[in-house]
Chain A
């Protein structure tokens, strides 16, 4: 019997194997740190202190994590239906346009809690719209969604630069960005939440969109495991032909799944655009859409796993920023290396250790 089909308990599949893969990714990253002449252990300590040491660090960590929860959920929803959405980056970017338009239109007239629902819906709609064409192409014309979503990342970037440089720019200003939103278009910080734990937020932009992200995580869980649609999605993800025999409509599932995925990615824009900088800027997504791929793989496509993985990557982002102050040899690009290694080990090589684990497990079970 091949070791691939031996059933393993859930804690091995969902905790031990990802943990081993994660440790391996960190060991290789540590090796890179060692190559450039720094002490990996010192780097790790500095990183953890920077990310988790003070209230401000935790605030930044959770701010980054908020982005990654949204994009991680976006990638995961598509993944459950067997679709690999590399386009979260572009969908988040275009989603920012929706959030910004809502904020620009309303911030003068109403307080933030009135603007927020409109901004959430607008960001989700714009993100979903950007996912629609790749979804339609996949469903109806059979073009590969990976390629089309990559293409749409580039097209989205070009579109947003055009809009920011030529349309949305403040007349007379040089920087390609919209005007600063008034408080009616800004999401308030969560300093009260931090204060509950006796922590001071300081200048960290940790804001209400974190709570929206958690709500979305819960909704995604309900959608995937507690609805008929989620069941159909998962069936399609496991086997397209089985889904067809069960009478599950392929076109409908693919398109709706991608709209949800794009919508989740679009909502990520709330956090940086309305929660942090209070304006729409060029390249504000900053790779969070791609981090979502690593987060989703690391979290095994489950909302709980995704929240944990997003916090882990938040730690890497914030800790990495602090680390680059203290060890100028290690730039923030180290995060990209770790990200690549996590995707490699947790994604492409996820079953590398499975045969060995199966053997050990069987021996233990017998003994």
Chain B
């Protein structure tokens, strides 16, 4: 295999590994821009993955899977909203609770319903989101450089992958070019001002966490019925936290969110590739270093060494109306 083929294959898996991060980080973007911290992204993704795999298995339709993934994820969002908006509870504690509840429920229900050690039964091809071959992929295949990249990186992905890349400009447009987005950003910076303008802080924040649930539904569905063909215990495996890291990395802005997710996806793909290979001059680099790299990078960033990352000012603080 020459270097170019290696690069193409790493880029291909970079895209595949980034998609759940992009959906989840965009979910966090909406929630946190509205002033509601969401540690529970991980749990929502996991719950959505289980729900979509279950529904797709029972109905044979990926669309039913997607719908129930979204539904379950939004239900968890409502719990988070109820705790942190209506009851003014601690948002971090609520998010942690959601992660636990999701991790436990998916394992318990999975074992009780399917008895395969927490897995759901494998899905046939037509119950999944399969690869879409863009026009001309075969035709261009022999064109040097562009051909293989078009065929193996850009074409041949599933519908949700293209939706993820569509969701980025769409999120930008919603946040920066619509009245809803303006108010949503305002409520994360200064909820008092929004309240004074006669707009309900509560309703705005609920809508923001629901959007977050909606997007986590896509990331969970992607994991279970697009990337894999079943739900596997704890298959989100910390991706929710990586997405949070990407969000901080991107300083809560949509396009940098996508780039940060691609970076973390690339690190992941590269780590997989490097497993058991040796680097000239250094020898075999322990795979754990690559695995820890996104987390180390996040801490370095948080330390302000690559520029400061300031979260929305009202983030994490429940809004109490003055009387």
Which residue numbers of A lie inside 8 Å of B, CB to CB?
2, 32, 35-37, 84, 86, 133-134, 137, 141-144, 146-148, 150-152, 154-155, 158-159, 161-162, 166, 290, 293-294, 297, 329-331, 333-341, 343-344, 347-352
Contacts and interface: CB of A to CB of B under 8 A. Distances in A.
Nearest to A143: B302
Interface stretch (B126-134, B166-174, B208-216, B240-248): B240-248
Looking at B93, B100, B103, B288, which has the most chain A CB atoms within 10 Å of its CB? Answer: B100
Contact of A351 (B89, B92, B104): B89
A333 B88 CA distance: 29
B40 to A, nearest CB: 10
Given A344-B79, A347-B89, A141 B295 contact: no
User: Which 8 interchain pairs have the tightest Cβ spacing?
Assistant: A340-B100, A336-B104, A337-B104, A340-B101, A143-B302, A348-B94, A333-B107, A348-B89
Nearest to B303: A141
A143 B87 contact: no
Contact of A340 (B99, B112, B323): B99
5 contacts: A2-B323, A141-B302, A166-B286, A340-B98, A349-B83
A331 B115 CA distance: 10
A347 B101 contact: no
A333 B118 CA distance: 10
Given A155-B296, A162-B286, A344-B97, A351 B87 contact: yes
Given A155-B299, A348-B91, 12 more contacts: A141-B303, A144-B302, A150-B241, A152-B299, A158-B292, A158-B295, A161-B288, A329-B111, A340-B103, A347-B90, A348-B89, A348-B97
Nearest to B107: A333
B299 A333 contact: no
Contacts of A335: 104
B149 interface: no
Interface of B: 39, 79, 82-84, 87-94, 96-105, 107-109, 111-113, 118, 238, 241, 244-245, 248, 286, 288-289, 291-292, 295-296, 298-299, 302-304, 311, 323
A151 B92 contact: no
B83 A151 contact: no
Contacts of B100: 290, 294, 336-337, 339-340, 343
Contacts of B289: 158, 162
A86 B89 contact: no
Contact of A147 (B91, B93, B244): B244
A324 to B, nearest CB: 9
Contacts of B299: 133-134, 137, 143, 148, 151-152, 155
A134 B239 CA distance: 21
Contacts of A158: 288-289, 291-292, 295
B248 A337 contact: no
Contacts of B111: 329, 331, 333
Contact of A343 (B84, B88, B93, B302): B93
Given A290-B100, A331-B111, A343-B97, A348 B87 contact: yes
A86 B244 CA distance: 15
A335 B104 CA distance: 7
A293 B103 contact: no
